[in-house]
Amino acid sequence: MPYKDEQLHEEKVFKDPVHRYVHVQDRVIWDLIATPEFQRLRRIKQLGTSYLTFHGAEHSRFNHSLGVYEIIRRIIGNFENRDDWNDDERLLCLCAALLHDLGHGPFSHSFEKAFKLDHEHFTQQIILGDTHIHKILERVETGFSRKVADVIDKTYEDKLVVSLISSQIDADRMDYLQRDAYFTGVSYGHFDMERILRVMRPIEDQVVIKSSGMHAVEDYIMSRYQMYWQVYFHPVTRSAEVILSKILHRAKYLFENNYTFKLKPFHFTSFFKEDVGLTDYLKLDESIVFYYFQLWQEEDDAILRDLCERFMNRRLFKYIEFNPNLQMKEWKELSQLFEEAGINPDYYLEVDSSSDLPYDFYRPGEEDERLPINLLLPDGRLKELSRNSDIVEAISGKKRTDHKLYFPGDLLAGLHNNDPVKQRIMELLNLEQSKGEGKNAD
Amino acid sequence: MLTNHAKLMHFFSAANDITGRKKMQKMIYILQKCHVPFEEKYQFHFYGPYSDELSLRVEELCDLGFISEEKEMKSNYVQYHYQITGDGKAFLDQFQIEMPDMTEKIELLKAKSSRFLELVSTMLYFEGQPADEIVKKIHTVKPKQNYTDSEIDEAFEYITQIRLVQ
């Protein structure tokens, strides 16, 4: 039997808190899961620094990747024998679903910004490079790894296959919303996925939703909206991310200025040089990052030591609301006052912005459209979701942005109360004099 | 603070005015590929490389009053025009960052249609693959655009040319 058709003697199952069970019958999938590159995802947290806000959020990219695979497996099961669905694409879809996040590194968001990396680039490299994953995919058929890479890159010719993995209602989002809600413990993020899967239909090059399932989709869109603002953009999580990002910048700065670390940061060297190869990239997971942060708490450099101590012990920055337009001058003055107070503003004063667009519909001629969610009406016509749903229409195309100013409340509190520099800082931040506290990072 | 916003403001300042969201998206992507240090992340989309981050950041700049966005009703769609405002200029004066001079590149980009820039940016997205593979990819991912051989040849030449100018 060709490798691509090989089935396990007995179906394997992974117990899963979100989908109850993840079922694996294909030998290829089983082999992919067993590779070092896929197992590495166990050591990358799905939600980065969110565990410092929601203590349950310790789940990994490994959990999520299996979850996306399971959702696709169920969708494909429902699509079997339907017109417009090509069952030859089954294994391709399953592999792409399983491997779509393969290139994520530790605390992806901060690392990507600090070292100018792109996890999608590494996903492609792992799939197409000299890796265990690549060898397995090429055993399926020559050129199969390229197909998987193209689906994940959204450049595969069959757009139906692409839209299952990446669209406004895809398996990726359906898994992470539910999984992140489960592990953070919040009550948002839940929706009736079984219902959505039952009403999904393949039509030409897209997946549409039977109009009878519209309310389940409304629930999904609202869940996404709430999760972004209640979980993903939580100001405390962002405070931890600001500190993390400052650690990386400080360590890089020290490296570039020939600082002697107590332990040579071997694992970071190519990152500092912004010349990261696949081998180095795969070696750096969160366990290694935490190891270095632990060590850097003992470093001679006061800034690196302090930032690591903050991150490891959750001594986060405070924050206030900030309007960059109205408060630009204040920010400049604050920056100077921080310098005068001996607090380096490059590492201890930061404005962080978060934006989200919960759902958008197709507007011909415009560029920033996303694939719309189309409803399949009983007469066979398609209608874009927001034209039928008042709830979705209310949030369609509406972007929301939030700016916050982060600073170390404890360092400000430590300044002498009679110091005019402190008094002016407190005035600008609109803070209580003695405590130096904005909103608590609790 | 707001470094990436400031970088975009340099672009709007140098460009004076930009017509079309699609064109703006492609211009920034092509400039990125010419090593102008914009940090917006791009993914492949309907019209080629597209950045959600850029779209959100431009909207933020509008909300902040640093650039103005004007809508023009076309026969079956809306076209957007962007221009730097007085507040935007003041922001740039206060926020000094080093950016390479991109004036000439921007002039070259503005002179081209969004359809052509869509082709150029898509070719740049597949950069690194052999030229014949890139051409094959163009026809796979953009079957409806029907790009001709001469357009594709022109785009290859254009990429070389824009990388040469300062």
Mean pLDDT for chain B? 90
Reported confidence tier of residue A358, pLDDT bands at 50, 70, 90: low
Nearest to A365 among B50, B76, B90 (CB): B76
Residue A157 to residue B141, Cβ atoms within 8 A:
yes
The two counts, helices (H) then strands (E), for chain A are: 22, 9
**Of the candidates B131, B130, B135, B128, which has an alpha carbon nearest to the alpha carbon of residue B149?**
B135
Residue B151 has what pLDDT? 95
Give A 337-366 residues with CB within 8 A of chain B: 349-351, 353, 355-357, 363-366
Residues of B in contact with A159 (CB under 8 A): none
Higher pLDDT, residue A273 or B77:
A273
A155 touches chain B (CB under 8 A): yes
Q: Which residue of A has its CA nearest to B43?
A: A153
Q: How far is A242 from chain B (nearest CA, A)?
A: 12
Report how many domains make up chain B: 1
Whether the per-residue pLDDT at A393 is higher than 80: the answer is: yes
Encoded tokens for A344: 């380096």
Q: Which residue of A has its CA nearest to B56?
A: A355
pLDDT in tens, A181-202: 999 999 988 999 999 999 999 9
Query: What share of residues in chain A are helix, strand, coil (percent, to 5)?
Result: 55, 15, 35
Nearest to B22 among A118, A357, A367 (CB): A367
Reported confidence tier of residue A135, pLDDT bands at 50, 70, 90: very high
Q: Is A190 left (phi over 0), alpha (psi -120 to 50) or beta?
A: beta
In this structure, of A37-46, A309-318, A426-435, the range with the lowest mean pLDDT score is A426-435
Residue A365 to residue B59, Cβ atoms within 8 A:
no
Reported confidence tier of residue B79, pLDDT bands at 50, 70, 90: confident
Residue A77 has what pLDDT? 95
Interface test with A, best of B56, B125, B142 (most A CBs within 10 A): B56
pLDDT in tens, B13-38: 999 899 988 899 999 999 999 999 99
Residue A365 to residue B79, Cβ atoms within 8 A:
yes
Angstrom CA distances, B5 to A190, A331, B13, B23, B54, stand at 35, 15, 12, 18, 9
DSSP A105-152: -TTHHHHHHHHT--HHHHHHHHHHSSSHHHHHHHHH-TTHHHHHHHHH
pLDDT in tens, B86-116: 989 988 887 778 899 999 999 999 999 989 9
Report domain A235-355+401-429's class: mainly alpha
Whether the per-residue pLDDT at A318 is higher than 60: the answer is: yes
Reported confidence tier of residue A371, pLDDT bands at 50, 70, 90: confident
What proportion of chain A, given as a percentage, has pLDDT over 70? 93
pLDDT, mean of residues A97-101: 97
Residue A399 to residue B44, Cβ atoms within 8 A:
no
pLDDT in tens, A164-187: 998 888 999 999 999 999 999 999
Residue with tokens 């002016």, as numbered in its chain: A424
Please answer whether residues A318 and A435 qualify as being in contact, where contact means their C-beta atoms are separated by less than 8 angstroms. Answer: no
Residue B60 to residue A120, Cβ atoms within 8 A:
no
Reported confidence tier of residue A12, pLDDT bands at 50, 70, 90: very high
pLDDT, mean of residues B144-165: 93
The interaxial angle of helices B149-164 and B103-110, nearest 10 deg, is: 160
Kindly give the pairing relationship between strand A350-356 and strand A400-407: antiparallel
Q: What is the domain extent for residue B43? A: 2-164
A194 touches chain B (CB under 8 A): no
Nearest to A155 among B22, B44, B55 (CB): B44
In this structure, of A140-154, A252-266, B56-70, B150-164, the range with the lowest mean pLDDT score is B56-70
Q: Which residue of B has its CA nearest to A114?
A: B39
**What is the residue type of B119?**
L
Report domain A3-195+211-233's class: mainly alpha
A153 touches chain B (CB under 8 A): yes
Residue A364 has what pLDDT? 45
DSSP B100-151: ---HHHHHHHHTS-HHHHHHHHHHHHTBTB-HHHHHHHHHHH-GGG---HHH
Alpha helices in A265-378 (DSSP H): 269-272, 278-283, 286-296, 302-313, 328-340, 345-348
Residue B25 to residue A367, Cβ atoms within 8 A:
yes
Extents of the domains making up chain A: 3-195+211-233, 235-355+401-429
Residue B25 to residue A357, Cβ atoms within 8 A:
no
In this structure, of A284-288, A358-362, B143-147, the range with the lowest mean pLDDT score is A358-362
CA distance A204 to A84: 5
pTM: 0.90
Mean pLDDT for chain A? 91
Contact residues, chain B to chain A, C-beta under 8 Å: 1-2, 5, 20-25, 39, 41, 43-47, 50, 52, 55-57, 59-60, 63-66, 74, 76-80, 87, 90-91, 94-95, 126, 137, 140-141
Residues of B in contact with A350 (CB under 8 A): 1
Reported confidence tier of residue A362, pLDDT bands at 50, 70, 90: very low
Residues of A in contact with B140 (CB under 8 A): 155, 157
CA distance A404 to A238: 9
Residue with tokens 């399949």, as numbered in its chain: A376
CA distance B136 to B32: 24
